[in-house]
A = this chain, B = another copy of it.
């Protein structure tokens, strides 16, 4: 059921138009996260896009990210859901304010609470994540996520994200 969301557009993009990944619009001072920072050379560098009223992330684990042979370790599943959720919160908050992703620097969220339900072992193959907005209230956003491999949901996540105040972006201030 998720395949259409993840099918490349005719122009090679992942979603309608030329919307960048939200992580590519994070302010430089907060773009070093191991999970999602574009400026972290050794990190996962996940990319999260708006897709209608949802958000999507694709991530391909390495063979050494195993739990038991052939399956991803639970910490990776939690990590990718976590960073997908912070990116999703930024997308949902921008949309809530009537802004388009890429029109300005993104707000930056951190996680206050994360829950992961491991439904099935997650194969060491491409993860496809879909995020949905559950609640938005001021600086707090609640996001739910489904993580699938080859169309089968193997884990779900629920996260409470809080926007970092801008004055904390730059430790020199």
Q: Which residues of A contact B (CB under 8 A)?
A: 29-30, 32-35, 37, 40-43, 64-70, 73-76, 78-80, 82-83, 86, 110-118, 121, 164, 168, 171
Nearest CB in chain B: distance from A159 CB, A: 9
Q: Which residues of B contact A164 (CB under 8 A)?
A: 68
Q: Considering the chains assembled together, what is the distance between the CA atoms of A30 and B34 in angstroms?
A: 26
Q: A34-B75, A78-B75, A79-B78 are in contact. Are A69 and B171 (CB under 8 A)?
A: yes
- The 9 A-B pairs of least Cβ separation, nearest first, read A75-B79, A78-B78, A74-B111, A34-B73, A114-B116, A35-B75, A115-B115, A74-B82, A75-B82
Nearest CB in chain B: distance from A149 CB, A: 16
Q: Which residues of B contact A111 (CB under 8 A)?
A: 74, 116, 118
Contact B74 A80 (CB under 8 A): no
Contact A76 B73 (CB under 8 A): no
Q: Considering the chains assembled together, what is the distance between the CA atoms of A117 and B113 in angstroms?
A: 5
Contact A32 B66 (CB under 8 A): yes
Contact of A68 among B33, B41, B65, B76 (CB under 8 A): B33
Chosen A-B contacts, 14 in total, with CB atoms closer than 8 Å, are A29-B68, A29-B69, A33-B66, A34-B75, A35-B73, A40-B64, A42-B64, A74-B83, A75-B79, A111-B116, A113-B115, A114-B114, A114-B115, A114-B118
